[in-house]
C-alpha cells in the first residue's frame, strides 16, 4: 500500500528527473554508539551525469528478521532473506530449536526495505552552517570528536543534496516530509 508520502517522493523524483536505487548491503551496527545491528543499504541517486552514492541505515524495527514461536524469537541470519518460510522453519528447527514445528508466514518477521520516501525524508535539507552553529542547534558539545565527525558527514550530505537539486527543488523536497 502506497502512502501519500511515498507518492510525493516518487512524484518528486520523477519531476526532477532523478532515479533512486536502493540495494541491501548488510546487517551491522551503523551509527556511532549503536547497541544493535540494523540493515544497511547502498543508495544511488542519479540525475543525468550527476551520481550520488551513499549508505543508508534502516530503522532497527524494519531490520528485524526473526521467527516467532510462542514467546521465543529466533534471529534469522541475513543470508536467508530470500528463502521461503518453509526453508526458514527448517533452518530454525535444525540450528536453533529442535521442536520448532511448522512456521506460518505470520510468524516470520521479515525486514522491510526503506522506500524512496524514507531516504528522501532523512536527507539534510538545510545548510548546517558553522560547526559552532551546528553544535548549538543540535545540542552537541563543540569539544567532541563525535560532534566533529557528525558535522563533517552532515556538511558533506548537504553539499551532495545541493549538487543534485537546485534551491527551489530543495524547498519542494522539504514539503514531502
Residue by residue, pLDDT tens for the chain (177 residues) are 468 899 999 999 999 999 999 999 999 999 988 899 999 999 999 999 999 999 999 999 999 999 887 777 888 998 899 999 888 878 887 887 656 555 554 588 999 999 999 999 999 999 999 999 999 999 999 998 989 999 999 999 999 999 999 999 999 999 987
Residues of the domain holding 130: 4-61+113-175
Looking at the structure, do residues 29 and 70 belong to the same domain, yes or no?
Answer: no
Looking at the structure, do residues 81 and 96 belong to the same domain, yes or no?
Answer: yes
Q: Three-state SS for 74?
A: strand
Considering 109, 129, 144, which residue would you say is the last residue of a domain?
A: 109
| Domains in the chain, number | 2
Rounded CA-CA distance 173/109 in Å is 32
Residues 46 and 72 both lie in one domain? no
User: Would you state the cell numbers that stand for residue 132, as one nine-digit string?
Assistant: 559552532
Residues 72 and 159 occupy one common structural domain: no
Q: How many whole angstroms separate alpha carbon 177 and alpha carbon 118?
A: 9
Q: How far is CA 103 from the centre of its chain?
A: 28
Same domain, residue pair 170 and 123: yes
**123 and 45, same structural domain?**
yes
Is 168 exposed, middle or buried, given 0-12, 13-18 or 19+ CB atoms closer than 10 A? Answer: exposed
In the chain, what is the straight-line distance between the N-terminal and C-terminal CA atoms, in Å? 18
CA angle 79, 84, 85 (to 5 degrees): 105
Last residue within a domain, chosen from 53, 86, 109: 109
Instruction: Give yes or no: residues 124 and 166 share one domain.
Output: yes
Q: Which helix (H) or strand (E) holds 93?
A: helix 85-95
Amino acid at each position: 500500500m502506497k502512502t501519500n508520502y511515498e507518492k510525493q517522493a516518487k512524484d518528486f523524483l520523477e519531476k526532477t528527473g532523478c532515479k533512486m536505487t536502493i540495494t541491501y548491503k548488510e546487517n551491522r551496527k551503523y551509527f556511532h554508539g549503536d547497541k544493535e545491528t540494523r540493515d544497511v543499504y547502498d543508495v544511488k541517486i542519479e540525475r543525468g551525469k550527476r551520481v550520488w552514492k551513499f549508505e543508508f541505515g534502516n530503522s532497527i524495527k524494519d531490520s528485524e528478521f526473526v521467527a516467532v514461536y510462542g514467546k521465543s524469537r529466533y534471529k534469522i541470519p541475513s543470508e536467508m532473506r530470500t528463502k521461503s518460510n518453509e526453508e526458514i522453519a527448517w533452518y530454525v528447527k535444525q540450528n536453533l530449536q529442535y521442536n520448532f514445528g511448522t512456521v506460518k508466514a505470520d510468524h516470520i518477521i521479515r525486514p522491510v526495505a526503506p522506500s524512496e520516501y524514507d531516504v528522501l525524508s532523512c536527507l539534510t535539507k538545510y545548510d548546517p552552517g558553522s560547526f559552532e552553529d551546528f553544535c548549538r542547534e543540535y545540542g552537541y558539545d563543540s569539544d567532541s570528536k563525535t560532534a566533529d565527525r557528525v558535522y563533517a558527514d552532515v556538511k558533506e550530505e548537504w553539499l551532495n543534496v545541493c549538487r543534485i537539486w537546485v534551491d527551489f527543488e530543495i524547498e519542494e523536497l522539504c514539503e514531502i516530509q
